[in-house]
Structure 1
Amino acid sequence: MLITLPAAMSVAAEAGEPALTTPGKPYSTKSVWEYSNVGEPPIPPVEPLIEVGLRDTAVTRGADGNYYMTGTIGPDFMTANEGIPLWRSPDLKNWEYLGLVWTFERDGTWQKEWTVKNGVRRRAVWAPEIHHLRGTFFITYSITGLGTGILRSTTGRPEGPYVSAHTPDAPLTSGIDASLFVEDDGAVYFVFGSGYLARLKDDLSALAEDPVRLRCTPADTDIEHHHPARPCRMDQFDHVGYEGVFLFKRNGRYYLSGAERYYERYHCMTAESTTLRGPYSARYVSVPHAGHNTFFQDHEGRWWSTMFGNDPQAPIQKRPGILPVKFDANGHIVPVVAGQPWTPRKRS
């Protein structure tokens, strides 16, 4: 049943790695302090992992020790693309393109439908995330105008092929930006939109409960801290972000993040709680310019945030990047202003 919120392996060889289809600087020559704004932490210079247009960058570490990366590809990102891309890396430096592991034409069912918004036809996969659990890979995703879903690899391999993990083969929920969270007891939760949460059935075939909205207390009522084109009602100022939600747990503390147009930038906002369903703390800017990101640990246990750059002041523009983060004395997420996994390029 579709929950509506209130108000084959890689593709054929001739389909190469997605091209860089968006204009913008490949990296920035600004110093770290030029990204710092009043009340926001500084971030280090960030360079793209690969020169490919990619939004909503998501990275995870598989049981095989490799890192896997996916996200929203072009050519038009928001309106049309072919499917879900995947890259693999042993070290966060060298990335191998595995192809489109799911496509509309080869694998789609309900997802094939085109929708229209403001006179524009749309059919795109938004914000896929890859997760490894229960011996296989799952991909969460959303389809423009239709809703969210979960795919399961039938082989246990990251390349798939992938089929719908849930029944019936229809959108799992309305909304966008889906993710998974695994609790200590093994229960798997579906997280999506601006911070909705619902436990999944043990086999991930459906939601086991109605979604609830995770709320921040106190709410952030400063309108300049919210998307200017999407004004909130007073009862909606308590979200962590208007999209791009992600949830993880560390040392008994839950970290809920989301993307927000904070002073018209595209920041990662984070709130924290000692209980899964909250209430969560007041939100704060954890990683500037890194809205709609994921957090992950490397082989040495260090924490990283993904980034793709979605505002003019971001160090990269619609390209995949990562930057190291740490937890301060209060347990809050802050960027590390050093420690990229690559050798910086020479600036001309």
Structure 2
Amino acid sequence: MTTTEKNALSRRSALASAAGLGLVAALPAIPAEAHPTATEREEMPTDRRVNWPDLEPYGLADTRQDLWPREDNSLTLPLELRPRDKERGLVWIRDTYVNCFVVNGRAVYVATGTTRVPGLDLAAPWNDGIFVWTSPSLKGPWALAETTGIRPDAEKGKVWSPEFTGENRPGRTTVAPWQEYWYDDRFGKRGEVWAPELHHFRGKWYIVACMGDHSRKVGSFMLVSEGGVEGPYRLIEGNHDKPFGDSFIGGPKFIEPGAYHHIDGGLYTEGDDAWLVLHNNLYAKFRDDMEDIVPTTNLPEFQQTPYPSEPYLEGASVFKHKGKYYLVQSAWDRTSVDPYGSARHAYDNPGTGRVQYQYDAVVAVSDHFEGPYSKRWTAGVGIGHNNFFVDHVGRLWSTFFRNPSAGYWSDPSRIADAAVPGIVRLEWTGRADGRLYVERSHRGRTVSG
């Protein structure tokens, strides 16, 4: 996510109508007793083993409605409501993250994401931290993490916040100075946290998240729990002074020079090893103690196949399935008019006549973590800034949230259905040229967790 890509609602274009608008870390071993039910077996999609032909030229966006979350392939998770959610009746969330881990022989589902404070329409220029929900299954019940024993006076489910500075102790940092709230004449209160991910690795819980554009320093950091999924969490040593990676020029003009680092950090684990995945094509190996990344002069880059007009990509993550590595990134499909007067959808840079349409997930596949990765394809329309995961019976899913800042879901007629905790089923097309797509149409079927 980025605040630089907010559009006025008036930017809706007739081009979208011409395009045909429609409706809407590998899992640890499952214990032998965790067999799927008969209903779950029936709902497991079979591999279609059919890749759609690539669109030409490379860089065009696939808008087919089969790649949209629909009633037959997706659902909105019934996350426990906080007091701020009662009026809407649904949690307002961006960058929805859901995963399933096996802990002490049982499946544990977790959910988190970017949320906003009451009174603000966006999760900026400040928000109040990271909330976590847990459940024994996708169906629920989805309960806020039980944090009241740690902070009796704080809102239930809030596991980390810039406001927790009072928890800092010698030898234990919860909130670094660069993560604290601050104030100026332009924005008033400043400092927001974006796009948290939650991982269970080597018996511990980790959160990777990003301090957003209005923070003193903008970039990714990692927390580790000294208890359960509810915390308490502390900041790892490598982020006491700054986010991961070096600073560079980027982001909105109001970000102070030297304050912008690599955003949207994520964690990929395999065996006993772990890597940080960042936007701008970067990754880094974590030290064995997980207190920082391995030092290097320059962070290594994934070997990718860029588009002819490589746009800004964000929300990067890596997912392994059936021996293949899938590099998942988010890109805006921008509409324009081709030389023949028809609507053109492509992953272009901004330009005259190019209007943001859908925030898509684009994916490439490789036999190796670092690449080289194949050409990208559209895995799902409007599901950008997502994560792929496997449930406890082996079904593949992606999250989505419907971006309210611009494009299709920012339209006044649809904005009420944006920023949701959504999940959509995926299908795999087989080993030969394996691709992951949003599960394509099955008539007469509805999805359940």
Q: Spell out, residue by residue over 1:229-276, the C-alpha distance to the aligned partner (whole angstroms, 9 max, x if none).
A: xxxxxxxx2x7x611111111222110011100122100010111122
User: Do the aligned residues in 1 keep the contact of 2:75 with 2:448 (CA within 8 Å)?
Assistant: no
Q: Which residue matches 2:130?
A: 84
How large is the RMSD of aligned CA atoms in angstroms?
2.5
Q: Displaced runs of 4+ in structure 1, greater than 4 A? A: 32-36, 115-121
Any unmatched runs of 5+ in structure 1?
1-31, 223-236, 343-348
Q: C-alpha distance in 2, partners of 1:101/1:213? A: 32
Q: Identity over the aligned pairs, expressed in percent?
A: 30
SS of the residue corresponding to residue 167 of structure 1 reads helix
Q: Which residue matches 2:95?
A: 56
User: Do the aligned residues in 2 keep the contact of 1:56 with 1:72 (CA within 8 Å)?
Assistant: yes
Residue 67 of structure 1 and its aligned partner are, at CA, apart by 0.3
Q: Spell out, residue by residue over 1:16-63, the C-alpha distance to the aligned partner (whole angstroms, 9 max, x if none).
A: xxxxxxxxxxxxxxxx96458259734323442131100001112133
Residue 80 of structure 1 and its aligned partner are, at CA, apart by 1.1
Q: Which residue matches 1:274?
A: 367
Which deviates more from structure 2 when the two are superposed, residues 171-180 or residues 35-44? 35-44
Given candidates 418, 430, 436, the residue that maps to 1:333 is 436
User: Do the aligned residues in 2 keep the contact of 1:68 with 1:87 (CA within 8 Å)?
Assistant: yes
Matched residue count: 292
Residue 192 of structure 1 aligns with an amino acid whose one-letter code is L
Residue 301 of structure 2 aligns with an amino acid whose one-letter code is R
Q: Which residue matches 2:402?
A: 309
Residue 339 of structure 1 and its aligned partner are, at CA, apart by 5.3
Tell me, yes or no, if structure 1 residue 262 matches structure 2 residue 309.
Answer: no
Which deviates more from structure 2 when the two are superposed, residues 132-141 or residues 103-112? 103-112
Q: Matches of residues 210-289 of structure 1 in structure 2 within 5 Å? A: 210-217=298-305, 219-222=306-309, 237=310, 242-263=313-334, 264=356, 265-289=358-382
Given candidates 201, 205, 223, the residue that maps to 1:137 is 205
Relative to structure 1, the CA distance from residue 90 to residue 206 in structure 2 (aligned partners, 3 Å threshold; closer, same or farther) is same
User: Do the aligned residues in 2 keep the contact of 1:177 with 1:244 (CA within 8 Å)?
Assistant: yes
* Greater C-alpha radius of gyration: 2
Residue 99 of structure 2 aligns with an amino acid whose one-letter code is T
Q: Which residue matches 1:207?
A: 293
Tell me, yes or no, if structure 1 residue 73 matches structure 2 residue 115.
Answer: yes
Relative to structure 1, the CA distance from residue 248 to residue 323 in structure 2 (aligned partners, 3 Å threshold; closer, same or farther) is same
Tell me, yes or no, if structure 1 residue 100 matches structure 2 residue 158.
Answer: yes
SS of the residue corresponding to residue 102 of structure 2 reads coil
Q: Which residue matches 2:176?
A: 109
SS of the residue corresponding to residue 62 of structure 1 reads strand
Which deviates more from structure 2 when the two are superposed, residues 187-196 or residues 82-91? 187-196
Residue 175 of structure 1 aligns with an amino acid whose one-letter code is H
Q: C-alpha distance in 1, partners of 2:183/2:366? A: 38
Residue 302 of structure 2 aligns with an amino acid whose one-letter code is L
Normalized against structure 1, the TM-score is what?
A: 0.77
Larger RCO (CA under 8 A, 6+ residues apart): 2
Any unmatched runs of 5+ in structure 2?
1-20, 25-61, 79-89, 146-156, 165-173, 246-260, 335-355
Residue 97 of structure 1 and its aligned partner are, at CA, apart by 1.3
User: Do the aligned residues in 1 keep the contact of 2:68 with 2:382 (CA within 8 Å)?
Assistant: no
